[in-house]
Amino acid sequence: MTRIITIASGKGGVGKTTFVSNLAAALANFKKSVIAVDGNLTTANLGIHLGIPLYPVTLQDVLNGDARLNDALYYHPAGFTVLPADISLKKLRLANSHELVDIFYKLVGGCDFILVDSAAGLGKEALSAIEAADEMITVTNPELPALTDALKLGNMAGKYGTHNLGVVVNRVRGKKHEFSLEAVENFLEVPVLGKIPEDSEVSKALSVKKPVLIHKPMAPSSQHIMGIAARLIGEEYRPRSALGARLFSWLR
């Protein structure tokens, strides 16, 4: 059965696109077939994160009836399929939830996961992506502004009957003033699916337009994303450190 999960956030810039591209790569690592959809049509950037900003045929072309869905699906070397959105102003348009449901309906059955990179906030675009999906994961930072916005998002998911799977706490620096994972859970009243530490390898990976999981598989961020992917599919995975992995291979 295909799981359709929208990755959303109340506040912008918290790491949704980073998480989607890496979660897709992580699930592919666990031999799951994944289609990553850029549901952020107005400020699309999944393609930029994946090193292919200018796809010839995009989601907008399909929505406009100018191309077939199959022509807008691209295989990424990290082992998953991408349905990108166009970054040009020329093709600026929103997708309503019915249009997205139509697209998902055609994709369902052909993969294990459809991951939708949503626009931030509670605008029409983000809400369409939440309404069209069966499940939602919220990305937040461990700070109050991001958390209060995430709380509103949880309420909207409830309104649309989209199952709120839980929250991923990104850019954790382990500082005293940050919300702890337990405090996040209490505040949002949903499970924390995992944390991703603040990691300079994430922006280095972005600069070479690769998921960090591909660029630096042993980076702390990559290892924690593997842990979250494992949890999603009910498998065990203990994040390893680069030093631990070196020791392990030496012992072997």
Ligand X SMILES: Nc1ncnc2c1ncn2[C@@H]1O[C@H](COP(=O)(O)OP(=O)(O)OP(=O)(O)O)[C@@H](O)[C@H]1O
User: Under a CB-based contact definition with an 8 Å cutoff, are residues 128 and 100 in contact?
Assistant: yes
Q: How far is the CB of 12 from ligand X (least distance, A)?
A: 3
The radius of gyration computed from the CA coordinates of the chain, to the nearest angstrom, equals 17
Residue 135 site contact among ligand X, Mg ion, none (CB < 5 to 8 Å, cut-off depends on kind): none
Q: How far is the CB of 238 from Mg ion (least distance, A)?
A: 29
Q: How far is the CB of 166 from ligand X (least distance, A)?
A: 17
Q: How far is the CB of 36 from Mg ion (least distance, A)?
A: 12
By beta-carbon proximity to Mg ion, the closer residue of 16 and 215 is 16
Residue 14 site contact among Mg ion, ligand X, none (CB < 5 to 8 Å, cut-off depends on kind): ligand X
By beta-carbon proximity to ligand X, the closer residue of 34 and 206 is 206
Q: How far is the CB of 220 from ligand X (least distance, A)?
A: 9
DSSP readout, 30-57? TT--EEEEE---TT--HHHHTT----SS
By beta-carbon proximity to ligand X, the closer residue of 15 and 194 is 15
Q: Are strands 74-76 and 135-140 parallel, antiparallel or unpaired?
A: unpaired
Residue 170 site contact among ligand X, Mg ion, none (CB < 5 to 8 Å, cut-off depends on kind): ligand X
Residue 131 site contact among Mg ion, ligand X, none (CB < 5 to 8 Å, cut-off depends on kind): none
Q: What is the token pair recorded at 71?
A: 């022509």
What number of residues does the chain have?
A: 252
207-246 residues near Mg ion, rule: CB under 5 A: none
By beta-carbon proximity to ligand X, the closer residue of 132 and 172 is 172
Q: How far is the CB of 120 from Mg ion (least distance, A)?
A: 7
- Chain-centre distance for alpha carbon 196: 13
By beta-carbon proximity to ligand X, the closer residue of 196 and 213 is 196
One-letter amino acid at 171 equals: R
Q: Which residues pair with 105 in a beta bridge?
A: none
User: Under a CB-based contact definition with an 8 Å cutoff, are residues 106 and 4 in contact?
Assistant: no
HSE (side-chain half, CA atoms, 13 Å) at 187: 23
State the Cα–Cα distance between residues 45 and 157, nearest whole angstrom: 24
Residue range at the interface with Mg ion (CB under 5 A); choices 9-17, 66-74, 169-177, 217-225: 9-17
State the Cα–Cα distance between residues 76 and 30, nearest whole angstrom: 16
| Candidate residues 6, 9, 17, 128; the one interacting with Mg ion per rule CB under 5 A | 17
Interface contacts to Mg ion, rule CB under 5 A: 16-17
